[in-house]
Amino acid sequence: MKFFGRGEDQKEKASEAGRMTRHSSGWDHALKFLQAGENLRILDFGHTSPANINFVTSLGHSIYMADLVEPARDSRWKEQTELFNEDAFDARSFLEENLRIADRHFDLVLLWDTVDYLPHPLVHALLAKLYDIMTPEAKLLAFFHIKTEAEAYRYHMRQDAQVDMQLVGEYPLQSTYTARQIEELFARFSDTRFFLAKDNLREVLVTR
């Protein structure tokens, strides 16, 4: 887990290969929220992105980065439940180890499409955790795949209503969610707004 404040030098580099651009109404609204705020704290999910770090800090905000998809693939987090003979997941221990945020609270969470790549027990635990660490009226942006086959991308912020998508590898989708199921995932939140997209993603902007 990494936290980056304003003016902090970032030495990590990311490849520019395999990028493409897509329109994102959800990001457009999140960007306006960023531009209107002061000294906000952002939680950005995905591989470390120097572009996102520079983008957020240039607006006078701080950014914290978390990548849960790769660690969640480690078999040590799986538990065998004898009663149903199916795999469970030690979500509590996983989040304690992989989402170390101390007592920080966040004004904007960029979850992107992380949920689709996580096992169900971890999804519910993660969203409960995010609810607890978001400030009142904070925003959360999430993407959901409609089809069961999809390549995994890292999303990079832009100054317009678009995001750059960088191919990061082969990660199998754990599930796809209907609009109704997405509403149920965010039932504790005060508002869930859907945006239509021409590709195979549903975009959702949630208010704490």
Q: In the chain, what are the domains? A: 2-207 (3.40.50.150)
pLDDT digits (tens, 9 = 90+) for 59-84: 999 999 999 999 998 888 876 554 44
Q: pTM of this prediction?
A: 0.86
Which of 148, 156, 163, 121 lies closest to 26 in space, CA to CA? 163
What is the pLDDT, as a whole number, of residue 177?
93
Mean pLDDT is lowest, of 47-61, 86-100, 141-155, 157-171, for 86-100
